[in-house]
């Protein structure tokens, strides 16, 4: 019995994702800080993925083997502590809070956690400001820092630090961003917009939404899925619903495997497979394939989910306690996917009115080309 292309694709995906590597690098730049306010101090626990730690302290994993030797740890330890402690600063008005380091330890298989205390010159008041610009500048472009601040009353407020929003006032009723800009924002002639704290619940949902809308491969896959649907004359809306639901299920299972079970797939295989999933959708359009896609799309969902799942585990979002943040993050992802599906359905409806089928084929060739090229570059870079 000859092998079908669908079966070959599923087999390749399973081979890639089931070869775990404990020190897999993360493609998403993300760090997480847990800060607990005292009367005149802030206890801090900052977690960062190993990939981002290497960007801050080049001595860490200098041979790029994904593991930290004793010599690498010895030479890079002090540099990383300095980068993290100066990258996250607390101030009371114009006076800075002095950081006292406690320890730097491994967080899971692929992350590091720094613990210490910021001692302030006087009791905390509404002028208390958190500034994470330093850690954003030290890490790779696009890095985000999630800050969870626990007040003296036990209330937890969450903030998302990024290029244009990086200073926060946890003790003010309506936290405002300081009217200064990072070098990236200054180049654009802008300053950080006003920012507000939120609950950890809404923060994780927001981060999931930002993840799917800012990832070009996720956006391209959803758009490609809608193009495949439009290209099939006998397709019914329930088929598209089934495909998106399968992709959602796969994505959710990947996040659950990483956070609850601690499974991290090898990014050297996962990232190229994500790119090849785009090429496969383009090929489906070009050959006008009518074969069922539900199981294959579910497999693609597993692979796309593994592209980010490891980062959540490295930041301490792991085990049973990590189930709720994982679920909230996935809710944000699915909201983003729904927005993309609706937008793409409207766009393709307008496209059909032009009666120019070559446009669809051009987009299909673009999916194939970008998918193959991205896969090759990711393989060479691994």
In this predicted model, what pLDDT tens digit does every residue of 290-299 receive, in sequence order? 777 778 888 8
Find, among 148, 142, 174, the residue nearest to 160 by Cα. 148
- Half-sphere exposure (Cβ direction) of 341: Cα atoms closer than 13 Å: 18
> Can you tell me the mean pLDDT for 76-104?
88
- Half-sphere exposure (Cβ direction) of 50: Cα atoms closer than 13 Å: 23
Q: Using CA atoms, how far apart are residues 287 and 270, in angstroms rounded to an integer?
A: 26
Q: Using CA atoms, how far apart are residues 126 and 145, in angstroms rounded to an integer?
A: 22
Q: What pLDDT, on a 0 to 100 scale, did the predictor assign at position 23? A: 31
Structure tokens at 86: 């100066």
Q: Is 16 helix (H, G, I), strand (E, B) or coil?
A: helix
* Mutual angle of helices 200-214 and 323-353, in 10-degree steps: 40
- Half-sphere exposure (Cβ direction) of 284: Cα atoms closer than 13 Å: 25
Find, among 184, 147, 144, the residue nearest to 168 by Cα. 147
Q: Are 309 and 258 in contact (CB under 8 A)?
A: yes
* Share of residues in the chain with pLDDT > 90 (%): 11
* Cβ atoms < 10 Å from Cβ of 345: 14
Q: Which residues 6+ apart lie within 8 Å of 189 measured at CB?
A: none
Mean pLDDT estimate for the chain: 75
Distances (CA, A) of 281 to 174, 224, 228, 233, 325: 46, 6, 7, 16, 31
pLDDT exceeds cutoff 70 at 361:
yes
pLDDT exceeds cutoff 60 at 369:
yes
Q: Which residue has the higher pLDDT, 137 or 14?
A: 137
Q: Are 164 and 187 in contact (CB under 8 A)?
A: no
Q: Using CA atoms, how far apart are residues 111 and 235, in angstroms rounded to an integer?
A: 45
Q: Using CA atoms, how far apart are residues 29 and 31, in angstroms rounded to an integer?
A: 7
- In terms of DSSP bridges, do strands 128-131 and 95-96 run parallel, antiparallel, or are they unpaired? unpaired
pLDDT exceeds cutoff 90 at 118:
yes
Q: In what order do the strands lie in the sheet with 111-119?
A: 98-106, 111-119, 41-49, 30-37, 144-150, 156-161
In this predicted model, what pLDDT tens digit does every residue of 122-136 receive, in sequence order? 999 989 999 998 888
- In terms of DSSP bridges, do strands 128-131 and 89-92 run parallel, antiparallel, or are they unpaired? antiparallel
Q: What pLDDT, on a 0 to 100 scale, did the predictor assign at position 37? A: 94
Burial class (CB in 10 A: 0-12, 13-18, 19+), 297: buried
- Kindly report the pTM of this predicted structure: 0.57
Helices (H) and strands (E) in the chain, counts: 12, 10
Q: Using CA atoms, how far apart are residues 19 and 22, in angstroms rounded to an integer?
A: 10
Distances (CA, A) of 104 to 115, 145, 192, 362: 6, 18, 31, 51
DSSP at 108: T
């Amino acid at each position: 019995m000859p092998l079908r292309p669908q079966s070959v694709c599923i087999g390749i995906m399973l081979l890639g994702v089931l070869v775990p590597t404990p020190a897999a690098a993360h493609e998403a730049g993300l760090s997480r800080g847990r800060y607990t306010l005292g009367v005149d101090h802030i206890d801090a626990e900052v977690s960062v993925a190993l990939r981002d730690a290497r960007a801050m302290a080049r001595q860490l994993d200098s041979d790029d083997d994904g593991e930290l030797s004793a010599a690498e740890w010895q030479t890079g330890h002090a540099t990383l502590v300095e980068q993290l402690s100066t990258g996250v600063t607390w101030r009371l008005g114009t006076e800075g809070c002095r950081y006292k380091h406690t320890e730097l330890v491994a967080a899971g298989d692929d992350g590091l956690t720094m613990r210490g205390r910021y001692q302030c010159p006087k009791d905390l008041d509404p002028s208390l400001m958190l500034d994470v610009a330093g850690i954003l500048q030290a890490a790779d472009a696009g890095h985000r820092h999630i800050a969870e601040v626990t007040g003296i009353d036990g209330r937890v407020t969450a903030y998302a630090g990024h290029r244009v929003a990086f200073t926060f006032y946890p003790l003010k009723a309506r936290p405002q961003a300081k009217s200064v800009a990072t070098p990236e924002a200054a180049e654009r002639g802008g300053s950080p917009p006003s920012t507000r704290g939120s609950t950890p619940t809404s923060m994780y949902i927001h981060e999931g939404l930002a993840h799917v809308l800012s990832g070009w491969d996720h956006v391209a896959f959803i758009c490609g899925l809608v193009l495949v649907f439009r290209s099939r004359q006998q397709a019914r809306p329930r088929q598209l619903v089934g495909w998106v639901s399968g992709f959602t299920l796969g994505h959710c299972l990947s996040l659950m495997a990483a956070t609850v079970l601690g499974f991290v797939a090898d990014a050297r295989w996962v990232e190229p497979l994500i790119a090849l999933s785009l090429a496969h959708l383009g090929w489906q359009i070009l050959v006008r394939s009518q074969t069922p896609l539900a199981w294959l799309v579910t497999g693609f969902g597993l692979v796309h989910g593994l592209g980010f799942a490891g980062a959540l585990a490295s930041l301490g979002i792991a085990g049973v306690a990590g189930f709720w943040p994982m679920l909230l993050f996935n809710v944000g992802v699915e909201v983003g996917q729904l927005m993309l599906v609706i937008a793409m359905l409207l766009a393709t409806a307008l496209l059909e009115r032009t009666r120019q089928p070559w446009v669809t084929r051009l987009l299909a060739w673009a999916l194939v080309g970008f998918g193959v090229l991205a896969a090759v570059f990711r393989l060479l870079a691994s």
